[in-house]
Amino acid sequence: MALPRDASIVLLTGAGISAESGLRTFRDADGLWENHRVEDVATPEAFHRNPALVYRFYNERRRSLPGVQPNAAHRALARLEREWPGDLLLVTQNVDDLHDRAGSRNLVHMHGELLKGRCLACRRVLDWPGDLDADSRCPACRRGQVRPHIVWFGEVPLEMERIYRALERCALFAAVGTSGHVYPAAGFVEAAAPGARTVELNLEPSRVADAFQEHRAGRATDLVPAFVDELLGA
């Protein structure tokens, strides 16, 4: 059934949408980093215990970004935002900048951003394209140590009020390339307005697949452009 043209849309993306750009996902076969599980480096405890390891993990990932490009799925979602007459919010769990570079603007990076740092003293969020280490100091307050602007396991994701407000009134919720292992994002499908259409676009059924009305199996670069064409009536 066609969606009314003024209907509001919430989209959720995960690592699967960036996989075909060459960025590794977390829970697929090659998801380990130097034999560490992501959960063992992406926590406040890990940062406290071994800050050098955590800084190195994110420095490596930050350095990989200039070498990768947005793919057809990122571009299709940016096109949908430009051409859809109703409200559209794109929520990503990804800390890469591929949605930004593809042109998405109504975008929430709920797990933070690799290219930013945050001052542990004054809490300012800072653009930080280069390496970070324990000696990195905040250019604003000049005293605080700067940590990666990443939401670690056990921390509260960003902009949750804005996300839930959009979910409560959406007519379509679609999730792309996410395994459904990590909450609260995995619970968004349950928080979508009663009566909203819910669609999962993923390589394989996610852990919360049963909560979606509709499933499309395949690669994001095939599924997402076709889905966007359908929504725009192209």
Max intra-chain CA distance, the chain: 57
Closer to ligand APR by Cβ: residue 121 or 158: 158
- Other C-beta atoms within 10 Å of 56: how many? 17
37 annotated as ligand-binding = no
Nearest distance, CB of residue 70 and ligand APR, angstroms: 14
- CB neighbours (10 Å) of residue 231? 20
Q: What minimum distance in Å lies between the beta carbon of 190 and ligand APR? A: 16
Residue 17 vs 171, nearer CB to ligand APR: 17
- Is residue 84 part of an annotated ligand binding site? no
Q: Hey, what are 213's tokens?
A: 């009305």
Determine whether the annotation assigns residue 61 to a binding site: yes
Our CB check for ligand APR shows the closer of 93 and 198 to be: 93
Instruction: Determine the Cα–Cα distance for residues 185 and 231; give it in Å rounded to an integer.
Output: 23
Under 8 Å between Cβ of 146 and 136: yes
The single residue of 74, 109, 111, 149 carrying the catalytic annotation is 111
What gap in Å lies between CA 106 and CA 88, rounded to an integer?
Answer: 7
224 known ligand binder? no
For residues 179 and 27, the answer to whether their CB atoms sit within 8 Å is: yes
Q: Which is nearer to ligand APR, 7 or 96 (CB)?
A: 96
Please report how many Cα atoms fall inside a 13 Å half-sphere around the Cα of residue 167, on the Cβ side. Answer: 20
Interaction site with ligand APR (CB under 6 A): 14-16, 19-20, 25-28, 31, 38, 93, 111, 177-179, 181-182, 202-204, 206, 219-220
Residues 6+ apart with CB under 8 A from 141: 119, 121, 122, 124
111 is catalytic: yes
CB of 219 to ligand APR, least distance (A): 4
State how far the Cα of 174 lies from the Cα of 215, in Å rounded to an integer.
Answer: 10
Q: Which residues participate in the annotated binding site for NAD(+)?
A: 14-33, 93-96, 177-179, 202-204, 220
Q: Which residues participate in the annotated binding site?
A: 14-33, 58, 61, 93-96, 119, 122, 138, 141, 177-179, 202-204, 220
Q: Which residues participate in the annotated binding site for substrate?
A: 58, 61
